[in-house]
Amino acid sequence: MKLILTQDVPRLGSQGDLVTVKDGHGRNYLIPRGIGLPATPANLAKLEGRIRLEEQRVKKDRRQAEQMAERLSGVSCTVRVQADENDKLYGAVHEREILQALEDQGVEIEASSVVLEEPIKMLGVYPVKIELFKDVFGEIKVWIIRE
């Protein structure tokens, strides 16, 4: 039996996938619970329409992310911290401090977008990646200075 999944199912497929399952599993489990729809010509046409709309939305979102990445290329922010005489920080600078410094400048990004491989523990200037979309990154400069 061929079904169109209406939600993600582990080890079977993702939402919108056309899958083949045994008749009993489809009739007795997937369809009654609303997890799958029979792959009729009408349902397949709806699926194609949804796929086209989703592709258009993804293209639009990617374009917006690329434009934002260009705007972020000239952005730098300053984080003031306490440090010892060897420029080592008392603590570390994490994503939330960088996010707060960006918000103070009026740059609005999502909290999960700031990408740091490890916390910053020394004074200096650091390039920090901002993930704006899948495979679209912007880069800002973060100045870590003594308070």
The CATH number fitting domain 69-146, selected from 3.40.50.980, 3.30.70.100, 3.90.340.10, 3.10.430.100: 3.10.430.100
User: pLDDT tens across 49-85, in order?
Assistant: 988 998 999 999 999 999 999 988 888 999 999 999 9
Nearest Cα to Cα of residue 122 among 140, 102, 142 = 142
How would residue 109 be classed by pLDDT, with cut points 50, 70 and 90?
A: confident
Q: What is the pLDDT of residue 64?
A: 93
Q: What is the pLDDT of residue 121?
A: 94
Q: What is the pLDDT of residue 147?
A: 85
How would residue 139 be classed by pLDDT, with cut points 50, 70 and 90?
A: very high
Q: What is the dihedral of CA 83, 85, 88, 94, to 10 degrees?
A: 20
Per domain, the residue ranges of the chain are 2-64, 69-146
User: pLDDT tens across 6-17, in order?
Assistant: 899 999 999 888
Q: What's the CATH fold of domain 2-64?
A: Ribosomal Protein L9; domain 1 (3.40.5)
What percent of the chain lies above the pLDDT cut of 90? Answer: 74
Summary mean pLDDT of the chain? 92
How does 116-125 read in b/e, with b if 16+ C-beta sit within 10 Å?
eeeebeebee
CB 53 within 8 A of CB 117: no
Residue 47 has pLDDT above 90, yes or no: no
Triad 128, 130, 136: Cα angle to 5°: 130
